[in-house]
Every structure is written in structure tokens, then in C-alpha cells.
Copies of this chain bind each other. A is one copy, B any other.
């Protein structure tokens, strides 16, 4: 250890060196009680790292109790600054046994019980890649196919959901057995090729929930991508890796899919913009299906301008009229399906833009959702059942249960569901008309990670899908814009328009964004 040096005092205050050594020893032994004792009690104690800031002794203790120890390390250099009678800061450079160096800053306070840490900041060397977000990443992985540096998307980097073909790479679909059985794709998926033709690079192939059959982003095999805007909460899925990559600034465009909300939900949870396109408006060539009656190409971005430019590349030209902000409407009965914090944020957004309220009662909504989920399960099993049947044990429990539902669904039940959905579709079409429906993108903010998550996810999934299934049933474009709840958490408003009006909807979102920071940025 380098001898202590400091600006305001060259020596350790009495007892601090011993406390510092005791902390280091307890950290290496994962001696949680000692670590807890050496952190100051109370709600003001702080501990931060790249994953976020923990506030309060209880939150820090809970984190420490759950992490299973810190990486083995030794101290390379230690510096002390004495701050008056009762405080000191210790900055230490560490060297990790697994490679790389770390940095740690601790603010210590002399309390009657001895020296304790009131604030700590920890940095460790980043891994080669964050394998919760990415399966493979390059600088770039696939360069644009333009040679002149031009194109509507020049300079953009795309995180491609691991369901799209990227030539020379396998499709992994979020499941290791699927990946192991896959061969490199000969061609790019249609959407990937179009983005490359317009100047974008493919940054990498991003994680997805298994076969896209989840809204959570908690892949059982590869871990849960981080949600930087809402630390220690789920990222949303199934386009989870694409969304986190955009949120983290790893990519500017997240290419994903949306069958039952897989663009809109991660956009809402992470404070991003996202578009689920009109069903069949963008070719799905080279895209692994989930439920083809509902599957759509979609994408995420940090701003509506980028979101719109991607639309100009992927969507057919629209000849119809533009959409005026006066087309915005809300349905109070649908707003009521969201948690109060999300409802308030979406209501506030609608009011700021002068949206009228439509008196529509979704009396059959529960039945529609059952029909949607029934047909989705039936089609998912139709898509993948033959391959999955002997491999169901390779799936995470939640995704497996949904495929098993598909296996149990009969053709007759699927036909019944189609009949219900035909009626629903007519009703939703009539409701939307020339309006733009403003809905909550998800029923709640991102659920927190931690004990009881599986139960929370099931409840959240059902509540959110009552809202997201409407665009799915009717094949409508749905554009998520970021909001913030009163507590500062990301939420989303979803703008739903008639089929084929994707481009006017993108331009509307851009116009609204220019009117209020609530769309471009996450804070009021």
C-alpha cells in the first residue's frame, strides 16, 4: 500500500486505517454484518456505482445481502485526505484478480461507535461486453452498405434484436439451444438490409426474451439488461436488449418487434420513443415469427426525429393526410386501467395537447384479451412447436408456460378466438377512425427486481396487455413517447392511429415533441 498522503494531512486519523483495513477484509470475506456495521446508519448514507446510486443504509444493506460478494482484489494505491476533526476521504486504486483495475472513494465519519462510511463510490473495469444487453457487438459489427457516407441514417448505429437475420451470423432468439442449432444466415433480413442501405451500421445483435414471448426482458439464460433510467427495475421486453442498448447510448436505433407490446413496453419502462408499425406494413422477411397474425417490425430511439427517419426508410410512402394534434383523444375507461401514477402522467400529456375524451366502454376487453392470448399462443406453437416439443426444458419457466398453453390450444379454440377478434377489430377500427388514441403504453412503471418478481410480472403482463392488445388486435400503428411520473420514473403514452398512418403518426410525435420537453426528454 502506498503510504498515505493527503492534501490536508499526511497521516491517517487515529483508528481510520484500522477501520479501512477491517472494511477491506470484510469485503473480501463477504462478511455482510461487518460491512453493514461499517456503513453509517440512517437514510442519508450513499453508495453508488455504474448501476446507480443507493440511498440509505437499508437499501445498501439489501444490495449487499443479495450480491454474493465483491470480486477479489488487492489495493494498489491508497490516498487519504483528512477533512477536519471527524471526517476523512480515502481513495483507493484496486486491482482485480479477474483482471482490470478499480477505483473506490469512501467518505468516513468518526462517530461514537468508531469510523463509519457515509458515502462510497465504486468503479470496476467494464467487461468486454455487457452480455445481458448484447450477444455480439462490433465497431461496427456490420458496416453500412453505402460507400459514399450518405443516406438518411448515416452515422446511426443499430442494435438488432436477435430475431432478425444478420448475414454471416446465427439467429439466437434468446435461447441457447436455438442458437446452438442455428447456422449462419446467408442474407440480411429485409429491414436490416434497408437500414444498411441508408447509411446505418449494425452495432451488434441484442438480447431478446426467448422467442420474443415476454414483455419483461428477464431472459432466464442471459440475465436482465439494465434499465439506466430506472435502476434495479426490469427493462421491459421482449425487445429488451435493443431498448437497453439505445438507453445506454450503445446504439441510436433499436430494431425490435412488437406482437403484444414488445416495443411499447420497453419504451415506456426506459423513457424511450418506439414505434410498432401497422401489421404487414414492413416486410418481415428474415424475421423469426412468434404469432404472424400480430407480429410487426418496430424500433426504438432516444428522440422522435430519429424514430421518424427510420420510418422513412422502412415504411411505404404514405399518400394520406397529415395528422393534426387536434386528432388526439383519450378514452377515460382505458386510462383507468393504468396505475394512478401512470394514469396521471398520461392524462397530463393528453391535457397539455388538448386531447378530447371519448366515451367508450371497453365492455368486452377481458374477452378480447383472452382471444388475443389464445390465438397468439396457438400461432406461437404453430411456429415453433415442432422444434420446441422435445426441448421445452430449455425454456425459462414463464416462456415455457406460454408455449405450453399454445400446445394445449385446439384448432377450434383458435377459430373461436379469431371470430372474437374480428368483432373486436371492427370495434377498435370504429373507435380510432381518424383519431389518434392516447393510451398508457404500459399499465405501470417498470416493476422492481427482487423477491416476488415472477408474481409481479404475471400481474403486470395481464394488466398491460389489456391496453397493448388493442393495437395488436386491429393491426394498428402505435407510437410510444416517454413521460415521467410524479416520482420521477419513466412511463409512456401510446399514440394509436388507423392502419397505414405510421408516417403521419411519426411526424405528429415529432411535432408534439417540439412543443414540449415531455416527449424529447423525460422530465417536466
**Residues on A facing B (Cβ under 8 Å):** 5-8, 40, 42-46, 48-50, 52-53, 55, 76-77, 79, 81, 83-87, 89, 91, 93, 95-96, 98-101, 103, 105, 107, 109, 118-119, 121, 123, 125-131, 133-139, 141, 143, 168-169, 180, 184, 203-204, 222, 228-229, 231, 245-251, 302, 488
Contact = CB atoms under 8 A, between A and B. Distances in A.
Contacts of A101: 52, 228-229, 231
A316 to B, nearest CB: 30
A99 B249 CA distance: 4
Nearest to A80: B44
Given A53-B77, A139-B222, 12 more contacts: A8-B118, A44-B79, A83-B84, A84-B86, A87-B87, A99-B247, A100-B228, A105-B107, A121-B123, A126-B126, A128-B129, A137-B137
A9 to B, nearest CB: 9
15 contacts: A8-B109, A46-B81, A48-B105, A53-B79, A81-B118, A84-B84, A89-B107, A95-B229, A96-B249, A99-B248, A128-B133, A128-B137, A131-B139, A134-B139, A139-B222
A98 B5 contact: no
A221 B125 CA distance: 24
B93 A50 contact: no
B119 A105 contact: yes
Most buried by B among A40, A79, A85: A79
Contacts of A229: 95, 101
A98 B138 contact: no
B50 A128 contact: no
A139 B86 CA distance: 47
A223 to B, nearest CB: 10
Nearest to A147: B180
Number of copies of chain A assembled together: 2
Contacts of A42: 7
A44 B248 contact: no
A109 B249 CA distance: 34
A346 B85 CA distance: 46
A86 B136 CA distance: 50
A230 B223 CA distance: 33
Contact of A249 (B45, B125, B135, B302): B125
Given A107-B107, A249-B125, A139 B136 contact: yes
A17 B76 CA distance: 34
Contacts of A8: 44, 109, 118
A446 B373 CA distance: 62
Contacts of A89: 89, 107, 118-119
Contacts of A121: 91, 103, 105, 121, 123
B79 A55 contact: yes
B250 A99 contact: yes
A99 B134 contact: no
B203 A128 contact: yes
Given A99-B248, A121-B91, A249-B99, A129 B135 contact: no
A305 to B, nearest CB: 14
Nearest to A247: B99
A206 B148 CA distance: 27
Contacts of A249: 96, 98-100, 125, 127
Contacts of A40: 7
A77 B48 CA distance: 12
Contact of A46 (B91, B125, B128, B136): B91
A226 B87 CA distance: 34
A105 B90 CA distance: 12
A125 B247 CA distance: 10
Contacts of A46: 79, 81, 91
A265 to B, nearest CB: 19
Contacts of A168: 168-169, 184
A129 B143 CA distance: 16
A123 B100 CA distance: 15
Contacts of A126: 50, 126, 130
B6 A44 contact: yes
A302 B128 CA distance: 16
Given A44-B6, A103-B49, A129 B119 contact: no
A83 B81 contact: no
Given A128-B204, A250-B127, A103 B302 contact: no
B123 A109 contact: no
A136 B136 contact: yes
